[in-house]
Amino acid sequence: MATVDKFQLLMDGDLSVTGRLVDASNATLYATLHLASETLTCIYKPIAGERPLWDFPDGNLAHREYAAYLVSEAFEFNLVPMTVLRDGPYGFGMVQEWISIDEEIELAEFFLTDNPLLRSMALFDAVINNTDRKIGHLLPMKNGQLYGCDHGVTFHVEDKLRTVLWQWSGMPLTTYEQELLQNGRRVLEQELDLTAYLTVEEISALHMRIGRLIESGSMPTPSTEWPAVPWPAF
């Protein structure tokens, strides 16, 4: 029997909800996927369980979460767990691979470090205009890999970057980071179609942010016009 890969499991697996993350403001369900003899733990966020947001009147959280995954992959940040859009027991929504973090890492200390993957996360957040990068949204693994979760409030047309990762504020972009942005912009312009998930205005703003980062050649700095750190920070 052919091995079932992770993408197949996420897209086609029988999804069984086994719990709920009670701290989440929207329906965030802990679930298990079964296909053939393979299983995978995941997070399932049905669109029907989303609460309307006054400052994000267009689209939905699930589509923005999926768009964040696509951008992460296209730019080769590789910072978002594998994510798909599909139907489930409570309707259509986002399904994302569950990441088991390294419990020995103290997140309250980790987020302040000069870890290069955290810096990549900070740059990724600037690209997608993440308004809610909390400490608890960082998912470090035992193998050294870092992922981030909860990207539903991203891609706003106005600059709304709010994050706990400001330790590189104003620092020059490295040659590698510049190349990452240049290559990502090329993929975005030529290959990646986000029109099914974001508005035309949101996509235009995404292009503008990338161009501004390349032109400035530096990491973003906190705004003086709105809170630069989400509340609560964790």
Angle between helices 175-190 and 200-216 (to 10 degrees): 150
Q: Which residues, at least 6 apart from 37, have a Cβ–Cβ distance to it below 8 Å?
A: 1, 4
What integer pLDDT is reported at residue 52 of this predicted model?
85
Q: CA 216, CA 218: separation in Å to the nearest integer?
A: 5
What integer pLDDT is reported at residue 166 of this predicted model?
98
34, 81 Cβ separation under 8 angstroms: no
pLDDT 10s digits, 69-96: 999 999 999 999 999 999 999 999 999 9
Q: CA 148, CA 10: separation in Å to the nearest integer?
A: 18
- Across all residues in the chain, what is the average pLDDT? 95
By three-state DSSP, how is residue 191 classified? coil
The pLDDT of 174-203, averaged and rounded, is 97
94, 83 Cβ separation under 8 angstroms: yes
More confident residue, 225 or 175: 175
For the chain, list the domains and their CATH numbers: 6-216 (1.10.510)
pLDDT 10s digits, 96-152: 999 999 999 999 999 999 999 999 999 999 999 999 999 999 999 999 999 999 999
Partners of residue 20 on adjacent β-strands: 29
Q: How far is CA 112 from CA 99, 137, 164, 172, 231, in A?
A: 21, 14, 8, 19, 17
Q: Which pTM value belongs to this model?
A: 0.96
Using 50, 70 and 90 to split pLDDT, how confident is the model at 2? Answer: low
